[in-house]
Structure 1
Amino acid sequence: MTSTDEVDMSETQPLHHEERFTEAHWSMLLESIDLSIAQEAIICRVPLLEEGVVERVLKRDALVCGHANPAAFEKLRSLLIMHFSARNQMALELGEEETTAIASSVREHLRGRVGDQLGTPPG
């Protein structure tokens, strides 16, 4: 197991039935997925925040990488798909407005942790 595969379970607490699918649950889930995405993107030196880069990763265009690491690139692609799947499920559970607010909060939190290592967002 590589260091990028390790998960720190010390901060993870099992959720009771009543706590599942709450805003807090979705926020923690999305943050976990997005942190893993950031880690893999940094390993591959993929500027994910730049225009069109996510689409290129989803199309398996490894030329977007600044550093070749096929295993990390494929994991990055899978995590991006997982992110979109979780976000769609969140929208069904919580509504689009709340989902957008949670996703924005997670992005801002991660930006504080990884800085500009993922490129510069458009706009």
Structure 2
Amino acid sequence: MSDTPSYETNRWTKHFEEIDLEIARLAVMMDIPILDPGVIDRILGNDASVCGKEKPRAFAELRAMLMMHAADQLKATNSLGALETQDMVRGVVDRLRERIGERMGNRQDPPAA
């Protein structure tokens, strides 16, 4: 088996890079530490108190982008498998963290099984 990512993996990676860049942009704009534990769940629960800056339209867009990310991650999992999808999304987030820095918060990776 080749270590070269398949066309499908590359397509999903590009898709998540675009979605996650917009999520990061919106989070930074509103001073939301998006990767802090529990923050994404609070946004999905429509809790705008996580925002450092009040921007209702941007918050609604961020919430919609997070829901789209979750739905698309399920589709990618069905297409690529759980481990490959998890690794791919983690790589996208890591590259975003390198570009944006600590303004994204502090992701806590789950312990390895």
Normalising by structure 1, we get a TM-score of: 0.80
Q: Structure 1: which 4+ aligned runs deviate by more than 4 Å?
A: none
Corresponding residue for residue 53 of structure 2? 67
Task: Return the letter of the residue paired with 1:48.
Answer: I
Compute the displacement of 1:122 (Å). 2.7
Question: 1:112 is matched with which residue?
Answer: 98
Aligned length: 103
Q: Distance in 1 between matches of 2:75 and 2:30?
A: 28
User: 67, 92, 95: which one pairs with 1:81?
Assistant: 67
Higher helix share: 2
Which segments of 5 or more consecutive residues in structure 1 lack a partner in the other structure?
Answer: 1-18
Percent sequence identity over aligned pairs: 36
Cα distance in 2 for partners of 1:101, 1:32 equals: 17
The CA RMSD over aligned residues, in Å, is 1.1
**Structure 2 residues without counterparts, runs of 5 or longer:** 1-6
- Tell me which of 28, 35, 49 is aligned to 1:42: 28
Counterpart of 1:11 in structure 2 is: none
Q: TM-score by structure 2 length?
A: 0.87
